[in-house]
Amino acid sequence: MTNSPQSKPIGDSKISKYNNESKGAKQLFEVFGYFKEYWVDERYLGIKDCDKPEREVFGYYSRMDFEALEDIEFKKGKVIKKGQSYYTRTYPFCGKRKVS
């Protein structure tokens, strides 16, 4: 697992044993990429696209806590300040349903 250069993990950040592969989006829908949601104190700040997922689990159970090593900027002027704690969740960008 790789961390972005602008953050470091906080605490254990264990990934849940629940895996979305069994009945999830990867089997039913085409996956075009991935994105991470950024949250501070239960407040949504924005998303950032990523080519490869950092985690094997998606959605709520993919939560990981971090501390910002530098400011992280989003659209509409939202910012995570240096030293501030935040968490992310990873989701796939899904397209149309696969034909079986």
pLDDT digits (tens, 9 = 90+) for 24-65: 545 788 888 889 999 999 999 999 998 888 788 888 888 999
pTM for the full predicted model: 0.71
pLDDT digits (tens, 9 = 90+) for 63-73: 999 999 999 99
Spell out the domain ranges in the chain.
7-97
State what percent of residues in the chain have pLDDT above 70. 72
Contact 51, 33 (CB under 8 A): yes
